[in-house]
Amino acid sequence: MVLGHLQRGGSPTAYDRILATRFGIAAIDLVKQKKFGHMVALRGNKIVSVPLKDVVGKRKTVDLELYNIASVFFG
C-alpha cells in the first residue's frame, strides 16, 4: 500500500512522480552539503531546505475557508 494512494485515492499523477523525484534529489543535495537536521519542503513551486527545529512540534493546518469549499466533495 502506498500512503499517498490511500490518502488521495488513485495512482500518482505525473506531477506526483516528478515532485517525488525533486524531493529525492533535494534530500541527497542536503546530505552532500552536510545539512543534517534539515528537511525538504515545497514552498510555492520551489523545493526549499527547512531546519527540523523550525517544524518539530508545529502544526500546519488547512485554511478553514478552503476546507469548507472542499467539503462538498466529502460532506
- Give pLDDT tens digits for 14-24: 998 999 999 99
Look at residue 3 in the predicted model and tell me its pLDDT. Answer: 66
Mean pLDDT score of the chain, rounded to an integer? 87
Helices assigned H by DSSP within the chain: 3-8, 14-32, 64-74
pLDDT in tens, 48-68: 999 999 999 988 888 899 888
Whether 47 has a pLDDT exceeding 70, the answer reads yes
Global pTM?
0.68
Residue type, 27: A
- Determine the Cα angle at 56 with ends 55 and 60, to 5°: 55
